[in-house]
Amino acid sequence: MGMMLGSTRGLEMPNYAVVHKAVSYEVRRYAPSIVAECNFAKGGWGEGDDGSPFGVLARYIGVFGKPENLWQSNGGTAEPIAMTAPVIVTAPEPISMTAPVLVSPTQGDNAHTMAFVLPASRFQTVAAAPQPTDSRVTLRQLPERLQAVRTYSWNFRPDSAKEQLAALLADLQTDGWAVKHTAAGHPEWQAAGYNPPFALPFLKRNEVLVSVEEKPN
């Protein structure tokens, strides 16, 4: 039953503390973490030719067999890494804060990426983590960060994430939270999916996360 429902019970998740709770979102302070990242293909997240990097990342941690990594702490051998939740997608696109929601691709921004968060209970630095043998996988340390998070259910798709993002941005503006922006002037945001695709849609947990500035007391 757990497999059919796509339960995340027992999976390690990123550490955070809730610093503000509103009706439709909460603001979390995330602890530093290590992520394994892989770019989508040119089509980007959700396109038919997006070259979904999930399989590449899954092979890095050893989901399908021998892990595609080398761990120096264990004599340079392959090291299985426990699956964690959520899977994070960074899709740098501008979002209109007025109705209707208008989304258009950007030029010159970073590529869309998918990331697995490595278990913080085992790996605190990039140097300490197993190194990928597939050049498409890179490791990166995320610093402590303050993010506003809106949770929603049903399928983990770009169109639904963008709708939820627009609602979150509007709420943050109303509540006086300053949103961080990329060099291109777009909000810094991510989408997070906690369940496998075969999980029942109404039981899925998804989130959109927006980086925000510290709010004066």
pLDDT over threshold 70, residue 179: yes
The predicted-structure confidence for 183-200, as pLDDT tens digits, reads as follows 888 899 999 988 877 788
Q: How far is CA 145 from CA 18, 19, 142, 211, 212, in A?
A: 12, 12, 8, 7, 9
What pLDDT sits at residue 177? 97
Query: Does 100 or 56 have the greater pLDDT score?
Result: 56
Single pTM value for the model: 0.84
Band (pLDDT 50/70/90 cuts) for residue 1 is: very low
Q: What is the mean pLDDT of residues 140-157?
A: 93
Q: How far is CA 1 from CA 7, 99, 196, 205, in A?
A: 9, 41, 14, 17
Host H or E run for residue 196? none
For residues 207 and 194, give the distance between their C-alpha atoms in angstroms, rounded to a whole number.
8
- Weakest mean pLDDT among 7-11, 154-158, 199-203: 7-11
DSSP-derived secondary structure letter, 58: H
Q: What is the mean pLDDT of residues 4-28?
A: 85
CB 57 within 8 Å of CB 137? yes
What SS3 class is residue 34? strand
The predicted-structure confidence for 24-78, as pLDDT tens digits, reads as follows 999 999 999 999 988 887 767 766 555 578 889 889 999 889 999 998 877 788 9
For residues 75 and 146, give the distance between their C-alpha atoms in angstroms, rounded to a whole number.
37
